[in-house]
Amino acid sequence: MSRIAATARIHPMAVVEDGAVIGENVVVGPFSHVGPHVVLKDGVELVSHAVVTGNTEIGRNSRIFPMAVIGGASQSLHEAGAGSSLTVGDNCTMREGVTMNCGTVGGGGKTVVGDNCLFLANSHVAHDCQLGSDIIMSNNVMLAGHVHVADRAILGGGCAVHQFTRIGRQAFIGGLTAVNYDVIPYGMLNGNPGVLGGLNVVGMTRAGIERSTIHIVRRAFKAIFEGEGNVRNNAAAVRDEYADCKEAMEILDFIAADSDRALSSPFRGKG
What amino acid positions are annotated as catalytic residues? 127-128, 145
Task: Please give the Cα distance from 122 to 231 (Å, whole number).
Answer: 36
What is the side-by-side strand order in the sheet with 99-101?
15-16, 33-34, 51-52, 69-72, 99-101, 124-125, 142-143, 160-161, 178-179
176: Cα separation from own chain's centroid: 17
Task: Please give the Cα distance from 163 to 155 (Å, whole number).
Answer: 15
**Three-state SS at 202:** helix
Residue 21 is inside which H or E element, if any?
A: strand 21-22
Instruction: Provide the β-strand partners of residue 242.
Output: none
**Do strands 195-199 and 187-190 pair parallel, antiparallel, or not at all (unpaired)?**
antiparallel
DSSP 8-state symbol, 73 = P
Task: Please give the Cα distance from 52 to 251 (Å, whole number).
Answer: 37
In this structure, the chain runs to a length of 271
